Structures are given as structure tokens and as C-alpha cells.
Chain A
Amino acid sequence: MAKIGVILCNCFGEIGDTVNLETIRERLASDPAVDVVTLRESLCQPGDAAAVHALIRERGIGKVLLGACSPYGRMEVVRLALAKEGVDVRTVRAADLREGCAWVHGKDPEGATRKAASQLGMEIALLQNMEDSRDIDIRIRREALVVGAGPAGLSAACGLARMGFPVHLVDRGTAPGGLLNIVTKSYPTDDPGPAKLNPLIEEMTRNPLIRFFGKTKVASVKGYAGDFKVALKGPEGSTTLRVGAVVLATGARLLFPQGLYGYGKTKNVITQMEMERQFAAGSVACKSAVFIQCAGARNAERPYCSTICCPLSLKNAMRIVEEVPGAEAWVLHRDIMTPGSVLEAYYRKALQRGVRFIRFDADRPPQVRGDGQVSGVEVFDVLSGVTRSIKTDLLVLSTPLVADPESAALTRMLEIPVDRHGFIAEVYPIHPVETRNDGVFICGTARWPVSSDQALAQGEAAAVKAASFLGRGTASALSMSRVPGPKLGHAQANADTCTGCGNCVAVCPYGACKLQRMGQRSVSRVIKVRCKACGSCAAVCPNGAMQIPEQNYRVTGAMIRRAFREVR
């Protein structure tokens, strides 16, 4: 049993003026669990860490307890300094005697002293009972799988390859490009659509690190960060790969709203996709084109804004006005979504070019007139309070992107959640291309409707994030914590006492607990790299078989029993 040494910090009186450190030192000196007790003026000033390290070495202290300040202030400075000295900071605990004690109980020094003694005692109980999670090193395979070769996927693949990582780029279509393939002119620069992607496609073709699989789908993915076993199914049969990271760039589909505004029934009621095809074929002919925004979006069924439909209509409306002689273009909208500098300037450009705008309300949508073929649209203009009748021979519905149903299967295989619209959820707004599963990244419209420029940027972001993981070579499971510093530990199931009830499997937010057959029984096994030590599994285990060694039930029990000893 390692020697426990307690070092109490006076903090220049900030602790010692309220908490009677002498009383505490005496008490601890007679505590059989404590081998060494000393007092110091400070722990965080220059030279302190070296002095503490010297003390640890001289007195042969195995576990250190500091009576110090809040973990959110100077303590982290102290820990870093000690780590730099070579101290194993996983054996260093600290009780908050300042922000948590002296500074909030200044009017009751006796009470503060009792509390300080209790908090220190609880930490000693922890140090006596804590065990060590066995760490494992995983080898991270230095290659990536990118699923989907639209703008996001191409961008991610090229980014990774540029950084020196082999990439397997898979697409269910024959060629890369995704939805951008059908766009002849992209906004806001008016470049030809595929021109955006041609440099990337060329790069993909020329860089030997990128292997492109056309007309291929992912049949299965197993494993975890650093080692995913992938089975692909393509025109030439199956291929198996082992990769370190997976980037999902599976895109989205455009909504074809049967029945909405006469779509599918009335002639010349089309979606933006058909509009793009007509432009590509040079066959746009109309006298007056009307675009209806939010067609099937921002409603009860799809309560989201699909980002691209407003700029898309501005682009196509301007094309009509500029390329079709004598034609006019109307955009019927509920809000014009052109945030930022570039898009707002694009909106102004459309206004200057003579595109006309009418605002309508969601509860009074436009009415389509026409028998078999669209002839006009009636809309209540909320800004003027007048119902307008617009003659039109081409009605274009701006419909939203919707989640691709095929990506759902992939997310289930990778055990990452989708939101209620079917788009893949990121782990947190400040980590928008990362998922709750380490090593799995998302970008592009599979994540959320975005423009091709945004998809390109997200692909690059996913590449950088994936590269930082792949470049590690090996990683210890304890290091994969997602917070500064290592994990507390990882959960562990006692195979002898585990009953295989599966509570832990159900509750684990990371899919780290799995049931494994062991002879006649099933027992729980924790995938160490996935576990983040939240403790949920231990909390729901009916017989205590599942524990986190560093804070196992003996630790908690001992801390609880110790908590009020000074108050009896």
C-alpha cells in the first residue's frame, strides 16, 4: 500500500487565516492512513513544484493529497507544473480548501476547519481505495474511409491525401460530384457548377493516395476508433478494408413534393433540380417564372430551413431575367435567407437585376391556377396587403434537402445518432464535424443542408480532424478523453459476477458496453477506447460487477462514511 503524503497549502493566509491548518495537521498526523503531513506557504509559485517533487522523493510518498484551492483555478497550474517535474499526476488528489471552504465559510472558522478535515479525509478514503484502470494502447491504422464523393467527400479525401494519408473514397454513383453534378452555374460567383469540383476531381485522379470506388456501397462497418473493419460492395464484388477513421459525406436528397402546389399533376410545375437540368439542356423557355420558397420546408413536417433554397432561387431567377429574352422572374418567399456579406450582396444584385419579390405568410400560401398546365399564381402579399395575381408559365418549387434514407443504415452500423429529420448529429456546436464516436466524422449535407462552398469547407474540416487522429500512430485508451488531460479511468466488468443483464449496454452513451458470450453465459465487456468514464454503467449495474476502478463503490462508500465524522 503506497504511502500517503498530505501537503497543506496556507495560500499566503487565504486558507490558513480561516482554516486552522495546525489542528488539521495534528489530526492527520495521528491518522493511521497518513504517513506524512507537511505545511507549505504555497504550491503554485515558481519553485514550489520542484520542492514538492523533492519532498515526494525524499519521503517515499506514493500518493499525494494536496490541501489546496479550486480545481478550476490555480490547481491546474500546480498539476501541470508537477507533471513537468515528472510526478505521476494520476496519484495526486486535491481537496478544495479555498474556494470550497475557507472563502465561503469565513464567518465560521471552526466549521470551516471541521469541513476541511472532512474533505481531506474523504480524499484520503479515495486514495486508500482507488485502483488503477489498466490502460491499453491501440494502434491507429493510418488510412481513412470517406463515404460519398460529392463536394464534402471529395474535399475531405483530397485534404487527407494532401496530408499524406491514404484514403478510400467510396460513392454509390459512377463518378464523383454528388448533387453538384446537376448544377450548371453555382452561386454566388456564377462559375459553372462542376468547375468548383474539377480541380478536386483532378487531384483525386492524380494523387496515388486516393483510391476511388465508384458504384460502391458500404455493406458493413465494425470496430472502433483506430481500427474499423469495412466491407464494401461494388461492381467487382466485395472488398474489405481496415481503416483508422471514417468520414461520412453521404449527402442528402432533394424533396420531390408530390401534390404540393400541383407538382406531379400540373404541367410546368417543377423543382429546382429540373430547372437546373433545363438550363443545362439550354431549354428554358418561359415568359414569366415564379419561384415559391419553403415548398415543403419550414412547416410542421419539416420544421427546418434548408439553407440553400433562397440563394438558389436568386441565382436561377437572375438567369431567367438575363438569359431568357423578355422573361420576368418572381420570388415568392417568407423570409429571404441570405445571411452574411457575400449572400446579402447577391440579394441586392438580384433586386437590381429586376427580380421581383413578394412576401407571403405560412398560413396563407400561394394558390396555383391552371388546368393541366400552370397559368398563374395568386398570392396574398403581406407587405402591401393586396392579393396579387401573377401570370406564369413556369412554376419552380424551392424544396428542401431531406436526409438520404441510405445514410440511416450507415449511422446505425457506426452507432452514431441522427436527429429527428434524419440528418447526422454532431457531438457539440463547437465540434461540428465530430460525432460521439471517436474516429467518425461527418461533413456536408448528410450533416445538415448547406451550400457546396460550406460543404467544401466542412470536408476540409473533417480532413483536419481525422488527420489529427490518424497521425497519432498509437493512442492509449486513457488518453482518448475529449477533455484536457486523461480520462478518470475506464469502466470494467467483473466477468465472474456479471450476470449479463445488459443494463450497461442500454445506458452507455458511447456504445462502449457490449455483451459477449463466455461459455454458457453472456458477460459485459467494455470497449476501453470508447468509454469516457461517465459512470452510468456502474450506476445501473444491479450487483456492482461494473465499476470504474479509480472511483469504485468502495471509494464512494468510504468517502460517504467519512464525510461527517467531524460533525458527530
Chain B
Amino acid sequence: MSSSAAGTNILVFACRWCGLIGADAAGRRRTELPVSFRVIPVECAGYVEPDAVIRAFASGAAGVAVLGCHVGGCRFNDANHPALKRLELLRTLLDATGIGGDRLLLGFGTAHEYHQWADTIRAFHKHVAGLPSMASWLPAAAMTGER
């Protein structure tokens, strides 16, 4: 596949509550979405650690989204709150290293209805598609998935 297609690979970590409900609703309504994203469901956004996000970038993702419930609405008693904080911290690291903190989307409680999910995915896809390729950051092997 051409590198331009690879240039919009988006990995979505979504909690199986607010994170994915919108996806289900969007699906039922046949809302057309770009094919660029893959989903890893997690119990809670609190599971997502900075290491996983970096690994995603290292494995060919051009953008990473972490979607969870509203802060205050997490069924694991606000386990999403520390996650939000540590991922915001990661964002500053991504900025500092030049990868760009705007490659990380944090959506907590913002994608739980069908049009919110659709708008989130489409907007992030468009944004990431407009960013320079990640190729300079990665050895060729990562781009062919041979790790």
C-alpha cells in the first residue's frame, strides 16, 4: 500500500463503555467513516499507558486516539482521570520530541452518541492526513511490520 494510505493509520484505544457505544450507534445508522482506524477495546481508558501509545507510533500509527468516559462518569471510580492526566503529560513529551502532540487525541465522554463518534473519527482522520509522514521517525522495518 502507498505511504499516503499508511500516513493516516489511526489506532483507537476505546473503553468498552462510552468509548465504543458511539461506534455501535454510528454503525447502526450506516454512517460512512474513513477506513483508516483500528480499534483496541479496553476495559477502561485507565488501562492505556504512555508506552502503549509510543509503541503504536513506532508500529506505523500516524495518530492515536484514546476514548473513554466523561471524567466523573467512569464506572471504575474515576480510573479515567489519572489516565487523562498522564496522557496529557505524554502529549507534552510528543511535542518536545517533535513528533507532535496533535497526533494524540484524547476524547473523554465526547464520542458516546453516533454523530459524536463520527465527527471525532472524521475530524481526527482529516487532521492526521494533513500531517507530515512519520517515516522519518521510524526505521523501514517498522513500516513493514516485521518486528
Contact = CB atoms under 8 A, between A and B. Distances in A.
Interface stretch (A66-74, A304-312, A464-472): A66-74
A540 B85 CA distance: 12
B24 A104 contact: no
A177 B79 CA distance: 39
Interface residues of A, number: 53
Q: Which of B26, B32, B49 has the most CB of A within 10 A?
A: B49
Interface in A176-203: none
A267 interface: no
B47 A100 contact: no
A547 to B, nearest CB: 11
Interface string B19-57: 011011011101111010011111110111101100110
A103 interface: yes
B143 interface: yes
A539 B38 contact: no
Contacts of B44: 534-536
A561 B42 contact: no
B145 A560 contact: no
A561 B82 contact: no
A536 B82 contact: yes
Contact of B77 (A427, A488, A557, A561): A427
A104 B11 contact: no
B145 to A, nearest CB: 5
B30 A106 contact: yes
A115 B35 contact: yes
B21 to A, nearest CB: 7
A99 interface: yes
A108 interface: yes
Contact of B40 (A105, A482, A560): A560
Given A112-B35, A507-B82, A540-B49, A563 B61 contact: yes
Interface residues of B, number: 48
Contacts of B16: 71
Nearest to A510: B77
A415 B82 CA distance: 19
A265 interface: no
Contact of B60 (A106, A114, A427, A568): A568
B35 A561 contact: no
Given A560-B55, A568-B1, A104 B38 contact: no
Given A115-B35, A536-B44, A540-B49, A104 B56 contact: no
B30 A122 contact: no
A422 interface: no
A296 B76 CA distance: 35
B61 A540 contact: no
B46 A536 contact: yes
Contacts of B35: 105, 108, 111-112, 114-115
Nearest to B77: A509
B78 interface: yes
Contacts of B147: 561
A90 to B, nearest CB: 14
Contacts of A103: 27-28, 30
Interface string A541-554: 00000001001010
A100 B39 contact: yes
Contact of A535 (B23, B42, B55, B56): B42
Contacts of B79: 507, 509, 534-536
A106 B26 CA distance: 13
A141 interface: no
Interface in A106-123: 106-108, 111-112, 114-115, 118-119, 122
Interface in B80-107: 82-83, 86
B38 A488 contact: no
B145 A119 contact: no
A568 B6 contact: yes
A122 B43 CA distance: 16
B27 A100 contact: yes
A565 B11 CA distance: 12
A498 interface: no
Contacts of A565: 145
B56 A560 contact: yes
Given A119-B39, A560-B40, A536 B47 contact: yes
28 contacts: A70-B23, A96-B39, A98-B27, A100-B27, A104-B26, A104-B31, A105-B32, A115-B38, A118-B38, A122-B38, A436-B77, A483-B75, A507-B46, A507-B82, A535-B46, A535-B47, A536-B79, A536-B83, A539-B46, A553-B51, A556-B40, A556-B55, A557-B55, A560-B61, A564-B11, A567-B5, A567-B6, A568-B6
Interface of B: 1, 5-6, 9, 11, 16, 20-21, 23-24, 26-28, 30-33, 35, 38-44, 46-49, 51-52, 55-56, 59-61, 75-79, 82-83, 86, 143-145, 147
Closest 8 pairs between A and B when the two form their complex, measured CB to CB: A99-B27, A535-B47, A111-B35, A509-B77, A534-B76, A539-B49, A536-B46, A534-B44
Given A105-B32, A539-B48, A560-B55, 18 more contacts: A72-B21, A103-B27, A104-B30, A104-B33, A106-B32, A107-B32, A436-B77, A483-B75, A507-B46, A536-B46, A539-B83, A560-B56, A564-B38, A564-B59, A564-B61, A567-B5, A568-B60, A568-B145
